[in-house]
Amino acid sequence: MFCEKTVPVKPNEDGAYLFTGCSCSQDGTYAIDRRFYEDLNKLAPAEKREQFYLLSGLIREMLELNKDVYITRENKDAMLASAMIPTSLEEKMEKCLLSLHRKVEGPNELLSLAPIEHSYNITYSPSLQEFIYVLEELKTQKLVERRGQALSLTPAGWAKAEELKENRSSKQCFLAVGMEPELLEPLKAALLPKLKESGYEAVTPEAEERVDRSTEQAIRGSDLVIADFTNQARSVYFEAGYAKGLGLKVIGTVRRDSTAGLLLDPSGDPPIVWDTPEDLAEQLQERIAKK
């Protein structure tokens, strides 16, 4: 679809179209909402040129990271604004190193990209020419070796990729909670230590103006969102839905005395029902371990 490679399309029971075997999905599968699919066919050529190569790169990377990809009218703009999308040559070089690192066992192992013209979404490049330029820069810095349509990480490139991976190993969790101090502060005190034990650095909202660019940026940079629907804060519903649209993991929670008024949980899974912050912390740690 977004990589312009023609592949069979299968509808699923939810009315979405499933794409497999293209340059975006590789060996995985991604879904496009039926309404959004119709919108795509109406886009002007200039809009397709501006958007499709970014979505192709994002789909490929998300699937490499074992994240679900389901694109809709509602989340398309959020995906195009994703913090995962590189904006500089250095960031595109890093994307290439990390992608190679995920696919090989060690330095000097060759990975075929044939046909190479179907691989430039690795660096979110709009053209094969830019992708070749990125590869040449990596080769100049002795991070990558290229043999025809095959690439390998040099020992220096493998070490660089390991360093990049290590810098990303401390995952970020966005804690979407109502701003009432009597709710927020006890939850922070109980959850933050447990999240850290589970490998997550928590980001908590502090500003009164919740639905703004800084909040959206924090969510885009997160690997997990915990949304507590106690007290039915509108901002929490927005943040959970926004994160779900980006393909992020969302865990919904609610205090037992608030379950009666709970609306549909945007996370899609049954929420964790808790009695005390400490109880929630224990249940969350168990849920995270299972994901």
- Same structural domain for residues 162 and 174? no
Collapsing DSSP states into helix, strand and coil, what is residue 176?
Answer: strand
- Listed residues 40, 60, 80: the one ending a domain: 80
Confidence of residue 81 (pLDDT cuts 50, 70, 90): confident
Collapsing DSSP states into helix, strand and coil, what is residue 168?
Answer: coil
CATH for 131? 1.10.10.10
Nearest to 186 by CA among 289, 260, 275, 285: 275
Q: What pLDDT is stored for residue 28 in this prediction?
A: 87
- Same structural domain for residues 156 and 201? no
Write down the mean pLDDT value for the chain.
87
The dihedral through the CA atoms of 91, 97, 98, 103 has a sign that is positive
- Listed residues 166, 185, 209: the one ending a domain: 166
- Same structural domain for residues 19 and 31? yes
- Same structural domain for residues 174 and 161? no
- Greater model confidence, 178 or 100: 100
Give the span between the Cα atoms of 128 and 43, in whole angstroms.
23
Structure tokens at 282: 């224990």
Q: Are 24 and 121 in contact (CB under 8 A)?
A: yes
pLDDT exceeds 50 at position 209: no
Q: What pLDDT is stored for residue 74 in this prediction?
A: 79
Q: What pLDDT is stored for residue 208 in this prediction?
A: 42
- Number of Cβ within 10 Å of residue 88's Cβ equals 8
Q: What pLDDT is stored for residue 14 in this prediction?
A: 75
Confidence of residue 212 (pLDDT cuts 50, 70, 90): low
Give the span between the Cα atoms of 13 and 22, in whole angstroms.
21
The dihedral through the CA atoms of 208, 214, 216, 221 has a sign that is negative
pLDDT in tens, 42-54: 999 999 999 999 9
Q: Is 248 part of a structural domain of the chain?
A: yes
- Rounded percentage of the chain residues whose pLDDT exceeds 70: 93
Q: Is 1 part of a structural domain of the chain?
A: no
Confidence of residue 58 (pLDDT cuts 50, 70, 90): very high
Work out the average pLDDT over 165-184.
Answer: 81
- Greater model confidence, 83 or 79: 79
Work out the average pLDDT over 130-144.
Answer: 97
Structure tokens at 170: 């401390």
Q: Are 203 and 256 in contact (CB under 8 A)?
A: no
- Same structural domain for residues 284 and 205? yes
Q: Is 203 part of a structural domain of the chain?
A: yes
- Number of Cβ within 10 Å of residue 228's Cβ equals 26
Q: What pLDDT is stored for residue 206 in this prediction?
A: 58
- Listed residues 166, 200, 230: the one ending a domain: 166
Confidence of residue 97 (pLDDT cuts 50, 70, 90): very high
- Same structural domain for residues 180 and 143? no
Work out the average pLDDT over 129-156.
Answer: 96
- Same structural domain for residues 65 and 102? no
pLDDT in tens, 222-274: 889 999 999 888 889 889 988 888 888 899 999 999 888 777 655 567 899 99
Nearest to 106 by CA among 156, 144, 158, 151: 158
